[in-house]
Structure 1
Amino acid sequence: ESHDWYVRRLAAFARSRPEWFEAWRAAAPQDPGALLVGAQLAVDRVWPSPARAELLREVSPLITAAALADDRDPVPWRIALDHARGSRAGHRYFEELWEAAVRRAPHHYSCHVAALRFLATFQRGSHGACFDFADRAAQDAPADSLAQALPARAALSWLTDGCGPEIPRARLDAAADRALALSARFPAADPWPAPIRNKLLYVLLRLDRWEDARAELRLIGPYATSFPWDRFSDDPLGHFLRLREHLLTAPPGPVPAALLTWSPAPLGEHDGHTPRRRPLG
């Protein structure tokens, strides 16, 4: 998981400092790390384009080269799963990539997230299938695996999508409970689980679980992440701080709608579709 995190950050750095990456690639053209960052960078560059599907086809050789450079590494296969979603590949091809990914790391969280996003994109309205996938992955994974947070991620997708059949409230609560148990395994104010904790906070608020939300807010500490708060404001940190102030000072009750109104994904975010806020009945 750390390897995947570093690849994403290095690719983001390379977008703003291309001369740094070009110097690395020139000095070590066959370096597995350089090939991997290059593949991620290529996907990131074309993702915002309306011609994404066509442009991504040109990126395939870079992903293949990264996968061949280190056959044990699951990260090239996570990139390949993202690539399959962006290029609108068929489900059979997705299954082949997925089998290759889990063969290398059966509980790799980022690969599971990439697969979940593929399913959510090409099975619109089929949130039950996404929940089934996430629940199976969590049940098969160790208790301290980040995969325990996958059902909560499926819950977030359902809560914000605005389409598809109803999901039983008990299933949403069970997803949140799994993520809460995982979060409790980490120290407070730990940057590593911060992305999971920030998403979980949104789910808890949508489920009106105020005390759990306040407790999770304390565990987050200073580590607010851009997602999901960049879906509410172009100042995600400011939005998080306003939400935090409300939770810590207001009496228990619904959060003002303005603080939880979901907006389209920013350019470059690999989320697959534009979600909307779903009312809970």
Structure 2
Amino acid sequence: MLRYLPMIVGAICIFYWFKTRRPDSVIASANPRQSARSTRLGLLPVAQLNKELAAPPEPELLAALAAARSGDWRSVADRFAGTGTDWERRSIYAENLADIAAADDSWLLAWEKARHDDPDAAIVRARATVKLAWRIRGDYSASHTSRKQFDGFHRTLVRSREDIARAAALNPGDPTPYITEIWTALGLGYPHGDMDHLWAEVTVRAPHHFEAHFSALQYWCAKWRGSDDLAHAFAARAAAGAPLGSLMSAFPLIAWFEAHFDQTVKASAYRSAELTSLVDTALADAAAAPADHPRLAELRHLLAYFLFRQRRYDAALEQFLLVDGYVAALPWAYYGERYYGAIREATVRKARRANRSEPTRPHSS
């Protein structure tokens, strides 16, 4: 997904306490204002950072979204069909189109009427129903959410199961309906056994699907339906034996971050042998990934953060140069663009490379 968590990261559900937790003291010790060094490197001022995306979207996706907003469902259908069996891209298209349909589905209704059994329209509908449920619930904690909101949330999530089942029946090889259901499982509180069954449906179709793993890891986190131990175990299984370039190395880092992001962590913990090894593996994973992998930037954002924490400032700067301009990714999604700016400025100040004359940043990948 180009937007994180919805995923935690805005569109699906960011808990109120995410917003009120204070990040560690680096936000106070590093100035997020644009420095001359950052300007020379081509890094953007904080005010110009894109807070909705983790990386630049592909032109075909932008065209599909524009067509949806204008009501041109035929153009949407043609571009969606172009994703074929590229399941990662397909889920990105479904996610972003569903975001529009959850607010105004007139174009989707026209698509469904003209092509009743189109599996592409069906998966957009399923995702839109899940998104609508989370919108009804709202972004705040349970104590700040009304009974009416909760009732509408649960009623709509229950309804989403019918839409998901229909999308799965229309395209049996597609993992996207089952990935969509992870957020239904999270909201309705599926038992662990039911989640295991759902996960098997995903992995038999797409064993290294990034969004699927991200979504499932959220389910297994302590803040939702699992625990720190279950989240770490899930992440370790995801990374074990995964081919380089699959980006599965992101998940042990995410699990570690989820377990510690709201705690005071000693600086030395970031430089432990275990975490250093995880970062080194992730660096190799990113280097081996196709340059156009739609999730590569999300791993690079994580690497920029952890490399900074490990005082590997030149390596951190390399990652910032590759992803700068977009901040809808962990860890910035929890803390905001000023936190990103603070860490980035501290990196620029400390990196040896930034003190030398050099060309501006390369294009994001």
Pairwise same-fold verdict (TM > 0.5): yes
Identify the match of residue 5 of structure 1 among 92, 111, 131: 92
Query: Which position in structure 1 is the counterpart of 2:283?
Result: 180
Which amino acid is the alignment partner of residue 205 of structure 1? F
Q: What is the count of residue pairs matched by the alignment?
A: 244
CA distance in 2 between partners of 1:191 and 1:31 (Å): 25
Equivalent residues in 2 for 1:8-19, closer than 5 Å? 8-19=95-106
Please state how far the C-alpha of 1:169 moved relative to its aligned partner.
Answer: 2.9
Please state how far the C-alpha of 1:232 moved relative to its aligned partner.
Answer: 2.4
Please state how far the C-alpha of 1:239 moved relative to its aligned partner.
Answer: 5.4
Which amino acid is the alignment partner of residue 280 of structure 2? D
What are the superposed Cα offsets for residues 235-262 of structure 1, whole Å, 9 maximum, x if unpaired?
x3x65445433422x236xxxxxxxxxx
Query: Which position in structure 2 is the counterpart of 1:94?
Result: 195
Query: Which position in structure 2 is the counterpart of 1:260?
Result: none
Instruction: Name the SS of the counterpart of 2:253 in structure 1.
Output: helix
CA gap of 1:43–1:203, structure 2 versus 1, over 3 A, is farther
CA distance in 2 between partners of 1:189 and 1:147 (Å): 16
State yes or no: 1:83 paired with 2:83.
no
Query: Which position in structure 2 is the counterpart of 1:251?
Result: 350
State yes or no: 1:202 paired with 2:289.
no
Please state how far the C-alpha of 1:188 moved relative to its aligned partner.
Answer: 7.6
Comparing both chains, which one has the higher relative contact order based on Cα–Cα distances under 8 Å and sequence gaps of 6 or more? 2
Please state how far the C-alpha of 1:60 moved relative to its aligned partner.
Answer: 0.9
CA distance in 2 between partners of 1:152 and 1:174 (Å): 10
Please state how far the C-alpha of 1:221 moved relative to its aligned partner.
Answer: 4.4
Query: More displaced, 206-215 or 76-85?
Result: 206-215
CA distance in 1 between partners of 2:97 and 2:190 (Å): 27
CA distance in 2 between partners of 1:167 and 1:201 (Å): 13
Query: Which position in structure 2 is the counterpart of 1:227?
Result: 329
Query: Which position in structure 1 is the counterpart of 2:7?
Result: none
Please state how far the C-alpha of 1:78 moved relative to its aligned partner.
Answer: 0.7
What are the superposed Cα offsets for residues 5-43 of structure 1, whole Å, 9 maximum, x if unpaired?
111111123234432222222222221011101111111
What's the RMSD between the two structures over aligned residues? 2.8
State yes or no: 1:159 paired with 2:246.
no
Query: Which position in structure 2 is the counterpart of 1:139?
Result: 240
Which amino acid is the alignment partner of residue 101 of structure 2? A
Query: Which position in structure 2 is the counterpart of 1:47?
Result: 134
Which amino acid is the alignment partner of residue 107 of structure 1? H
CA gap of 1:208–1:87, structure 2 versus 1, over 3 A, is farther
What are the superposed Cα offsets for residues 144-176 of structure 1, whole Å, 9 maximum, x if unpaired?
11223222221221231439xx99933322222
Contact 1:187 1:219 in 2 (8 A): no
Contact 2:94 2:123 in 1 (8 A): yes
Identify the match of residue 226 of structure 2 among 120, 123, 128: 123
Structure 1 unaligned residues grouped into runs of 5+: 253-281
Contact 2:250 2:299 in 1 (8 A): yes
Contact 1:36 1:66 in 2 (8 A): yes
Contact 1:188 1:219 in 2 (8 A): no
CA distance in 1 between partners of 2:159 and 2:293 (Å): 39
Query: Which position in structure 2 is the counterpart of 1:263?
Result: none
Identity of aligned residues (%): 29
Q: In terms of Rg, which structure is larger?
A: 2
Which amino acid is the alignment partner of residue 296 of structure 2? P
Please state how far the C-alpha of 1:192 moved relative to its aligned partner.
Answer: 4.8
CA gap of 1:80–1:190, structure 2 versus 1, over 3 A, is closer
Contact 1:42 1:59 in 2 (8 A): yes
Please state how far the C-alpha of 1:73 moved relative to its aligned partner.
Answer: 0.6
Which amino acid is the alignment partner of residue 98 of structure 2? A
CA gap of 1:104–1:24, structure 2 versus 1, over 3 A, is same
Structure 2 unaligned residues grouped into runs of 5+: 1-87, 138-144, 352-365
CA distance in 2 between partners of 1:181 and 1:39 (Å): 36
CA gap of 1:102–1:183, structure 2 versus 1, over 3 A, is same
State yes or no: 1:28 paired with 2:115.
yes
CA distance in 2 between partners of 1:178 and 1:158 (Å): 20
CA gap of 1:59–1:93, structure 2 versus 1, over 3 A, is same
Please state how far the C-alpha of 1:82 moved relative to its aligned partner.
Answer: 1.8
